[in-house]
A and B are shown apart, each in its own frame.
Chain A
Amino acid sequence: MPSVMLAPTPGIATFLKHLKHNPVDASIENFVSLLKRRQIRSSRPCAIATTHLLLKVVATFRDRDVAKLVERIRSVGQQLIAAQPREMAVGNIVRRVLGLVREIAEDDADENPDSTSMGDSGYLPYSNLEPSGLPTHFSNFSPPKHGSALPQKSGLSQSDSNGGDDNSGQGAVAVEKQLDRRPPLLTSHTSYVASAMAPQVTSLFGLLSHPHTPSPTATPPLGTQSPVMKPGLTSRVLATIPDASAAKVDIKAEVLEGIRELLDELDQADDQIAAYALDHIHSNEIILTHTSSTTVQRFLLAAARKRKFTVIHAEAYPNDYLETHATIMQGRQKSAVGDDEDERWSPLTALGITVIMIPDSAVFAIMSRVNKVILSPHTVLANGGLVAAAGALTIAQAASVHKTPVIAVSGVYKLSPVYPFDTEELIEYGDAGRVAEFQDGEMVESIEVVNPLFDYVSADLVDLYITNLGGHAPSYLYRIVADHYRAEDVNL
């Protein structure tokens, strides 16, 4: 009897199906094993899978305590990251969700101050003297705070009630105690910080700011008064106390809403990036790119509708060349994710663009004729550097010799807040058999063959990052990291 059903290849599609029908913990296990076996690879599928998983984790979370939710997400995150540390997208999504939860909890705490501690000492700045080891933050939104990896001890955020309510009776509220209460501080000068959060005071004043408040009924500590703080706070406290319990239910719903927005962002990232294509690609330009990246292809397709240019495509042998050939010839026919509609796109040649495929060794030779290089990174690092498919460093160095602009296109979800102390660790190694076949006995016996899958390209070789938020210089990425991630989440 001919076998009827071939088991589908394990990958993101099977994972999402599994997620629908199985309990959360089983799904976590499934995802971990998919990551370990590299059956789910590359940033976008990992990010999507992580987001769906966290959606389910939050949805099935029974407790009302926000701190416990944070802890739950963190432990799931730790498992996922440990499974495949080089898939930074997984960690990025976990940190985004954590930041989301904290933000919602704090906004909620702002509006529903249901403890005496909220009165004013909630706005304590930096209780550095208190015995809890090192102080946590000076300011929370200034670039240094979030700029890159931060010297955070992960345990601190849990065990000590920092940045706030030390001296006043804050034992009552689990939220404020456990979460890092970020006092919404403001100087009149920080108005340009556009964010949903309450604006923060600057870190340089951290040296001098007030360590504690005298009494709960006094005016807020000097140097920390926030105009955001409502004058009639006490009356509001009284008015909203009955609503406190209702607020907690909303937190979960808001978090779920936020995660769904994150999913939307992941879906739309490519389209938003492609919207900038016309600004950067002009007629009769020669663009160099490599690998079969969807983002780059859609970027070029968006420009191809209005402009005529030439693309030189390096084939990325030995790891990606078959997909690259397929991409050039046929575009993308089927998707691996879910719904097919958005995922099908025609090849550039169908729109009349000339595509020249070259072997990777020809990159330097051809570089003098190239106007722009477009790379698609696997991960973007907080120092402005990036990790991209092998071959990217050669291309970037050749481009810098010829002073050709190098543009990296990636969604913000690929931007990792972790500072790369050791860039060697970020490189994943793949099947050496692709370089020198195992059948070639002499080669295998006498030569050590390595097949790095990625290259680290340092920040000074990249000229522009185009993300779904627009174009940025590599030196500006620290701001984006600051806007999207929280300091306390960097070390999970």
Chain B
Amino acid sequence: MITTGTVLSDDGFDIVKTYNGLLKEDPELTMPVAAIESLVLALSHTPASTVSETLDLLSTLTAQLKRSITNPISLSAGTDLFQRYLITTLTRPGQGARGDFDQIRTHLIRNGQLFVERAKEARERIASFGRHFVGDGAVVLTNGGSRVVGALLRRAAETCEGTHSGGGTIRFKVLYVTASGTSDDSEAKETISALRARDIPVATIPPTAIAYSLSMVTLCLVGAEGVVENGGIINRLGTYQMGMLAKSAGKPFYVLAESHKFVRLYPLGQDDLGFQQTVVNFSTQCGQKDEQDSHPSDGGVADLESKRSSCSGGPAVPSRFDESVDYTPPHLISGIITESGVLTPSAVSEELIKIWF
């Protein structure tokens, strides 16, 4: 079965390829929106005529998409939102099924671009709202390659129209935490150079220097791949650490996330994210036994367990640190800035309840 890119081929619509293609084409696109876009394209390519057929198709495609990506949290925010939207609008009581369905379908297909526009607009709104957090003389600590944070910092750096570049009305500095301690880290590179071009002093530090530099920090800003039900976030590995340090030093820790990143997940810990990620790999000199740090089911028969699991392959492969994520619990977060304002972590679950129940 060879599928050619995103074009409908004889055997079917390859959603994974579409999704990856979309992400590659447009670097400004977030994963949830790309997922929604690919589902919309799937809708347009597959003539489904009934509501249940469509919903069925969508769940199949969603499952396919989630299976193909290691970390499906971010895109599942988009797919879940899309599914709930369809279910809500299609199964509303008192509506003629057929005519409305076609209308919705047409609307969705025609307005694929619209969603992307709105999502980008959401980012701009967050940036224009959140920049008030950066006052004169502030030092902002951030990490990762979040585009929202980049947009916000760029907005804060902007001068009033018509004046010369550089020399904004707000003078602030940025402390960027990168894995290597330099700006060669590809995620943040563009943002850092963009900020430096605007005359904003940016320093890059390795994660080991966070505590050291925390005394000069005014506030921490991070993005999020997903915002979970209890108001915590899933973000690049190292965010949890930053959150803990910020809390203990009494610095505010704000998260910037568009509201379409809210995902219906309630992790009880770092191991409970719904997918396997092996950040911690114990090994010894003899035998290179890989021990799984999650699921110590048979406590007494530890050796046997680890041998068996290393045979099974799959999860024994350690994850790359720069692709791993961690979970930051809500009590470390001072506020989540969405395009609708600043939410307390407890407001997130209310939002999710509203679409799910």
Inter-chain contacts of A85 with B (CB < 8 A): none
A476–B354 touching, CB < 8 Å:
no
**Shortest distance between the CB of B217 and any CB in chain A (Å):** 16
B341–A151 touching, CB < 8 Å:
yes
A129–B338 touching, CB < 8 Å:
no
**Shortest distance between the CB of A135 and any CB in chain B (Å):** 7
Inter-chain CA distance A478–B111, complex, in Å, is 33
Contact of A204 among B107, B128, B342, B351 (CB under 8 A): B351
* With A144-B347, A147-B343, A222-B103 as contacts: A204 and B354 at CB distance below 8 Å: yes
* With A204-B81, A207-B260 as contacts: A421 and B132 at CB distance below 8 Å: yes
Chain A-chain B contacts (Cβ-Cβ < 8 Å), number: 137
* Interface size in chain B (residues, C-beta < 8 A): 53
* With A147-B342, A150-B340 as contacts: A142 and B351 at CB distance below 8 Å: yes
Inter-chain contacts of B259 with A (CB < 8 A): 138, 144, 203-204, 206-207
B354–A151 touching, CB < 8 Å:
no
* Interface size in chain A (residues, C-beta < 8 A): 43
Inter-chain contacts of A135 with B (CB < 8 A): 118, 121
Instruction: Kindly supply a per-residue 1/0 record for chain B positions 260-274, scoring 1 wherever the CB is within 8 Å of any chain A CB and 0 otherwise.
Output: 101000000000000
Which of A183-191, A244-252, A316-324 contacts the other chain? A183-191
**Shortest distance between the CB of B97 and any CB in chain A (Å):** 12
Contact of B351 among A187, A203, A210, A227 (CB under 8 A): A203
Chain B positions 12-51 with a Cβ under 8 Å from a chain A Cβ: 33, 36
Task: Assess whether A96 is interfacial by the CB under 8 Å rule.
Answer: no
Contact of B82 among A145, A208, A219, A227 (CB under 8 A): A208
Instruction: Kindly supply a per-residue 1/0 record for chain B positions 72-109, scoring 1 wherever the CB is within 8 Å of any chain A CB and 0 otherwise.
Output: 00000000011001001100111100001001100110
Inter-chain contacts of A134 with B (CB < 8 A): 121, 124-125
Task: Assess whether A438 is interfacial by the CB under 8 Å rule.
Answer: no
* With A148-B341, A151-B125, A189-B357 as contacts: A422 and B108 at CB distance below 8 Å: no
Task: Assess whether A149 is interfacial by the CB under 8 Å rule.
Answer: yes
Inter-chain contacts of B340 with A (CB < 8 A): 138, 142, 144-145, 147, 150-151, 203
B262–A128 touching, CB < 8 Å:
no
Please classify the interface of chain A as helix (H, G, I), strand (E, B), loop, or mixed, using the class held by over half of its residues.
Answer: loop
Task: Assess whether A223 is interfacial by the CB under 8 Å rule.
Answer: yes
Task: Assess whether B346 is interfacial by the CB under 8 Å rule.
Answer: yes
Inter-chain contacts of B128 with A (CB < 8 A): 151
Task: Assess whether A383 is interfacial by the CB under 8 Å rule.
Answer: yes
* With A203-B259, A207-B81 as contacts: A151 and B129 at CB distance below 8 Å: yes
Inter-chain contacts of A145 with B (CB < 8 A): 340-341
Inter-chain contacts of B132 with A (CB < 8 A): 421
Task: Assess whether B114 is interfacial by the CB under 8 Å rule.
Answer: yes
Q: Please, which residue of chain A has its CB at the minimum distance from the CB of B336? A: A144
B85–A223 touching, CB < 8 Å:
yes
Inter-chain contacts of B122 with A (CB < 8 A): 207
Inter-chain CA distance A382–B343, complex, in Å, is 10
Inter-chain CA distance A134–B124, complex, in Å, is 9
A211–B114 touching, CB < 8 Å:
yes
Inter-chain contacts of B338 with A (CB < 8 A): 144
A421–B115 touching, CB < 8 Å:
no
Inter-chain contacts of B344 with A (CB < 8 A): 147, 383-384, 475, 478
**Shortest distance between the CB of B99 and any CB in chain A (Å):** 8
Chain B positions 177-211 with a Cβ under 8 Å from a chain A Cβ: none
* With A129-B117, A188-B92, A189-B357 as contacts: A149 and B342 at CB distance below 8 Å: yes
Inter-chain CA distance A135–B262, complex, in Å, is 20
Inter-chain contacts of A190 with B (CB < 8 A): 354
Inter-chain contacts of B352 with A (CB < 8 A): 204
Task: Assess whether A309 is interfacial by the CB under 8 Å rule.
Answer: no
Inter-chain CA distance A37–B136, complex, in Å, is 30
Inter-chain CA distance A225–B94, complex, in Å, is 10
A189–B354 touching, CB < 8 Å:
yes
Contact of A128 among B121, B133, B341 (CB under 8 A): B121
Inter-chain CA distance A178–B138, complex, in Å, is 39
Instruction: Kindly supply a per-residue 1/0 record for chain A positions 189-213, scoring 1 wherever the CB is within 8 Å of any chain B CB and 0 otherwise.
Output: 1100000000000111111101100
**Shortest distance between the CB of B253 and any CB in chain A (Å):** 12
A222–B89 touching, CB < 8 Å:
yes
**Shortest distance between the CB of B88 and any CB in chain A (Å):** 5
* With A204-B354, A476-B346 as contacts: A147 and B341 at CB distance below 8 Å: yes
Task: Assess whether B135 is interfacial by the CB under 8 Å rule.
Answer: yes
Task: Assess whether A143 is interfacial by the CB under 8 Å rule.
Answer: yes
Inter-chain contacts of A149 with B (CB < 8 A): 341-342
A143–B347 touching, CB < 8 Å:
yes
B335–A204 touching, CB < 8 Å:
no
Inter-chain CA distance A148–B125, complex, in Å, is 15
* With A145-B341, A151-B339 as contacts: A205 and B351 at CB distance below 8 Å: no
Task: Assess whether A419 is interfacial by the CB under 8 Å rule.
Answer: yes
Among the interface residues B111, B132, B347, which one has the most CB atoms of the partner chain A within 10 A?
B347
* With A204-B262, A383-B342 as contacts: A223 and B89 at CB distance below 8 Å: yes
* With A142-B340, A207-B115, A207-B118 as contacts: A188 and B93 at CB distance below 8 Å: yes
Chain B positions 317-357 with a Cβ under 8 Å from a chain A Cβ: 335, 338-347, 350-352, 354-357
Inter-chain CA distance A3–B81, complex, in Å, is 77
Among the interface residues B33, B94, B345, which one has the most CB atoms of the partner chain A within 10 A?
B94
B104–A222 touching, CB < 8 Å:
yes
Instruction: Kindly supply a per-residue 1/0 record for chain A positions 440-478, scoring 1 wherever the CB is within 8 Å of any chain B CB and 0 otherwise.
Output: 000000000000000000000000000000000001101
Q: Please, which residue of chain B has its CB at the minimum distance from the CB of A382? A: B342
Inter-chain CA distance A188–B117, complex, in Å, is 28
Task: Assess whether B148 is interfacial by the CB under 8 Å rule.
Answer: no
Inter-chain contacts of A151 with B (CB < 8 A): 125-126, 128-129, 339-341
Inter-chain contacts of B262 with A (CB < 8 A): 204
Inter-chain CA distance A433–B256, complex, in Å, is 45
* With A128-B118, A142-B351, A189-B354 as contacts: A211 and B88 at CB distance below 8 Å: no
B260–A143 touching, CB < 8 Å:
no
Inter-chain CA distance A147–B259, complex, in Å, is 14
4 extra A-B contacts, CB within 8 A, seeds A189-B354, A208-B82, A475-B345: A129-B117, A205-B355, A222-B107, A223-B104
A-B contact pairs, 12 of them (CB 8 A): A128-B114, A142-B351, A144-B351, A146-B341, A147-B341, A148-B343, A151-B340, A151-B341, A187-B88, A202-B354, A208-B82, A478-B343
The 10 A-B residue pairs with the shortest CB-CB distance in the complex, in nearest-first order: A144-B340, A151-B129, A202-B354, A475-B346, A143-B347, A223-B89, A150-B341, A148-B342, A421-B132, A208-B85
Chain A residues packing against B (C-beta within 8 Å): 128-129, 134-135, 138, 142-151, 187-190, 202-208, 210-211, 219, 222-223, 225, 227, 382-384, 419, 421-422, 475-476, 478-479
